[in-house]
Amino acid sequence: MTKLSVNINKLATLRNSRGGNMPNLITSAKDIESFGAQGITIHPRPDERHIRYQDSRDLKKVVTTEFNIEGNPIPKFIDLVLEVKPTQVTLVPDAENAITSNAGWNTVKHKDFLIDVISTFKENGIRTSIFVDPDDNMVKGAAETGTDRIELYTESYAVEFTKDNKEEGIAPFIKAAEMAHQVGLGLNAGHDLNLDNIKYFKEKIPHLLEVSIGHALICESLYLGLENVVNMYLDRLK
C-alpha cells in the first residue's frame, strides 16, 4: 500500500489568521495519525506564514509515524532539519516569496549543491527526497546526487485529469517512475492530488511509496470531515 502523508500547512494558515492556537497543530497531527495516516508533512517557509520553525520542533515530539519536512535548503532550513532530525527531508527549489511549490529541481545544473546538502542530511541519519518534474534526465540526475528518493511534482497530471486527458497526463509520470526504479530511487509524489485523481494515479504509477497531500485534503474535509477524508484517501491508495 502507498503511504499517505498529510501536509498540515493549511491548518497552520488557519491558526495564524487569528493569532491564537486554533486549530492546535499538535492535536491535529495526533488526530490525523489516529485516523490512519502514515505520515505528517510540513513545509516551513522563511517568512513562517503558515508552519513556524517552532512547530517543527514541537511536532517532532509527538509525531509517531513518518515525519517529513519539506523546503528549500537555505542555511536556516538546513540548521532546522539537522536539529529536528525528521524521518525524511524533501528538498524543494521554491523561491522565498512563492505561494506554493511550482517546479522541480534541475538536478543536472544543481548537482554539486545537492550532493553537498544531501550528504550532510544522510550523515545525520535523515532520509532524503528531491522534488522533481517527470523528466528522465532529471530523474537520472537525481540518482547521481546520492538521494534516497524523488518526489514527482504532479501538478501537470492534475491539470490534464480535469481536462479528461488523464492518459496523456499520466504518461510522463509512468515513464519517470519506471526510470526511478531502474536507477534505484524510491518514489514519492505530491502536488494537487485529490480524491478525484488519486486512485487513477495510484493504479498507473509503479513502485509508488508515498504521497503527500495537504491543500485538497483539508478543503475536502470542510465538507466531508477530516477523519472521513483521511480514510477515503487510504481506501483509494490500497
Task: Judge contact between 147 and 128, C-beta under 8 A.
Answer: yes
pLDDT at 97: 58
What is the pLDDT at residue 100? 56
Q: How many CB atoms lie within 10 A of CB 109?
A: 11
Domain of residue 215 covers 3-236
Distance between CA atoms of residues 165 and 147, nearest Å: 32
Mean pLDDT for back-to-back runs of 10 residues, the chain (238 residues): 97 96 98 98 94 98 98 96 98 71 86 98 98 97 98 97 97 98 98 98 98 98 98 97
Q: How far is CA 213 from the centre of its chain?
A: 7
pLDDT value of residue 94: 79
Task: Give dist(CA 135, CA 168) in Å, integer.
Answer: 15
Enumerate the active-site residues: 43, 70, 191
Number of domains in the chain: 1
CATH number at residue 64: 3.20.20.70
pTM, entire model: 0.95
Which amino acid appears at position 109 of this protein?
A: K
